[in-house]
Chains A and B, each alone.
Chain A
């Protein structure tokens, strides 16, 4: 790329003034008058100016994007840092209008809901990805599944919430943490499948062939050789897919709802299967709209926790598994 740029900087002088003539040598299609018009000499200064303007605007646009991100992170840290203390992680939210308290129940709820979602979606998505990469490949079924998975990733998360509401919450007559987990799992499934497929496709075929040539059955080659080779990428993919849904709010609005209490057991009205389950994102959403300063402070604290977890894990994964990008 660099050489190409150097070449064009050195060579711009002559092109603008050279007269329009059809390329000689091999006979090509005859030039239409409009083609010739495109070849008429243009002002060198103008071309340079347009080029410079585009380059400047590219830098301005990139700085704008990064500035907005920094601005958001800065604002969240500034407003949220004051709320973070021991009680923030261990106590229930205060009664409206009171001081103190924390988001302990919401943090626990989000961890449990996300963990169960990962438990459902990661194995299925992973094996589905294995099938796409190792067996389905370019067959008709695999092409269809791949297409559906890609489309699936673009379904708005609120629609997934509506779906789980209609399929689970409505028939059972109550919101539950489990419904939230299923909604999140639904969102994770195609992401995990497609990530797994993309990463397995990077493993060179020679590895598969040498395994098979030694008489090792296909399933052992896949699990013991291909997946082992792609290990770091797969772990990164799984973690990032999980982190992504941990920050989702819209589907939980219609499934897990929210609760002022601790998650208590499994089937009771405060249990994971039995009733609304507190979670961080919905709590942040509710508290940020309340006209009480302590509630807003807790909301910002929750936002800070979410952003630190999401960005932190993203950076961490990159640092740990940079090796995985070798092929």
Chain B
């Protein structure tokens, strides 16, 4: 009896008798109340998103009625004549995102391999921290760095080299009619985007690869497989759905990134870029660059319509990402 009491006091838990001292009604009330308060907060998180969707639809209604779905297939942005279209921005978004994904995905996968298989855990922790630090740098810093360092480099070195060699004859690299030297271009924005989404895809892929049961991999090594063979034939198959999820997460980030792209993409919102070296615009950067100049009701409504489209696109990819990541969690029984 006495030892039990001593034990209870020794713990850092709540002081004994505190609950007993409270009046009876309060005791019955407190637990459900706490539950309800936390539930309301939990639901707030969900309700917030539906509010966002509702407000966007409501406020873009003027533009939706006026411009309809042909908004998506029109190239125009002229407040004076009231004609608006999202096609150039959509094309630019797809192009910058593609450049970013093509570069970032393979890099992220091999870095994730490095972190999970090739280096000892302590080194992996240091490298992992570095990757997370890269993810923590705000996008405006990437944008400024791109503007002052990468744009001149692309303009003076890379673009002349590409246009001067056989590379400049390839379909996506041949300068189009709006070519402006290649400094501010889809390619520059895509390169910076690649660096920005690299840590996200790496971190998610690493987590997924870590969920592959060790025994399965060891069975592969035991059969005499090389590290690459184990990765390709065991880990990647096991983790495939998770990697797909990680890819969609990165894709969603690249689609919605605003500041860095606004700095670098050139802001040409009246042409569908023919070449990666041409300037262009993206949905997000068009909103950022045009918003403070919008004056008429239709003008603002059209920009909010753009926001709604961007929201819908990223939503699709985020939901896909969640579905695939959940599938990965289920097949491996771990948490990702």
A-side residues, CB < 8 A to B, are 1-5, 7-8, 11-16, 47-48, 50-51, 54-55, 57-59, 61-62, 64-66, 68-69, 71-72, 75-76, 79, 123-132, 134-136, 141-142, 144-145, 147-152, 154-160, 162-163, 165-167, 170, 186, 189-190, 193, 211, 214-220, 222, 224-225, 228, 243-244, 247-250, 253-254, 257, 281, 284-285, 288-289, 299-300, 303, 306-307, 310-311, 314-315, 318
Contact = CB atoms under 8 A, between A and B. Distances in A.
Given A57-B110, A156-B311, A247-B140, 12 more contacts: A2-B120, A4-B221, A62-B110, A69-B134, A124-B44, A128-B43, A131-B42, A135-B35, A158-B256, A253-B288, A306-B140, A314-B136
Nearest to B146: A72
A216 B229 contact: no
A144 B39 CA distance: 13
Contacts of B14: 211, 216, 220, 224-225
Interface residues of B, number: 104
A148 B227 contact: no
Nearest to A254: B291
Interface string B280-300: 000010011001100000001
A95 to B, nearest CB: 21
B311 A155 contact: yes
B226 A8 contact: yes
B30 A219 contact: yes
Given A154-B249, A162-B303, A131 B39 contact: yes
B281 to A, nearest CB: 13
A128 B226 contact: no
Contacts of B31: 217-219
Interface in B28-42: 30-31, 33-35, 37-39, 41-42
A124 B56 CA distance: 23
Given A4-B218, A11-B222, A159 B48 contact: no
B310 A159 contact: yes
B319 A156 contact: no
Contacts of B48: 152, 186, 189-190
Contact of B111 (A2, A65, A76, A303): A65
A58 B117 CA distance: 11
B218 A62 contact: no
Contact of B13 (A48, A225, A244, A318): A225
Contacts of B1: none
Interface in B181-203: 195, 198-199, 202
Contacts of B55: 163, 166-167
B242 to A, nearest CB: 14
Given A65-B131, A65-B134, A15 B223 contact: yes
B41 A124 contact: yes
A13 B224 CA distance: 8
B42 A145 contact: yes
B45 A1 contact: no
A158 to B, nearest CB: 4
B12 A314 contact: no
B172 interface: no
Dominant secondary structure at the B interface: helix
Interface in B219-277: 221-231, 249, 252-253, 255-259, 263
A145 B227 CA distance: 40
A129 to B, nearest CB: 8
Given A54-B228, A68-B195, A152-B48, A244 B214 contact: no
A62 B127 contact: yes
B141 interface: yes
A127 B38 contact: yes
Contacts of B149: 71, 75
18 contacts: A8-B227, A51-B227, A54-B231, A76-B145, A135-B39, A136-B39, A141-B43, A151-B318, A151-B319, A152-B48, A156-B257, A157-B256, A167-B55, A214-B8, A217-B19, A249-B140, A254-B291, A315-B133
A131 B138 contact: no
A150 B318 contact: yes
A206 to B, nearest CB: 12
Given A54-B113, A157-B258, A158-B287, A150 B322 contact: yes
Given A16-B224, A163-B55, A135 B19 contact: no
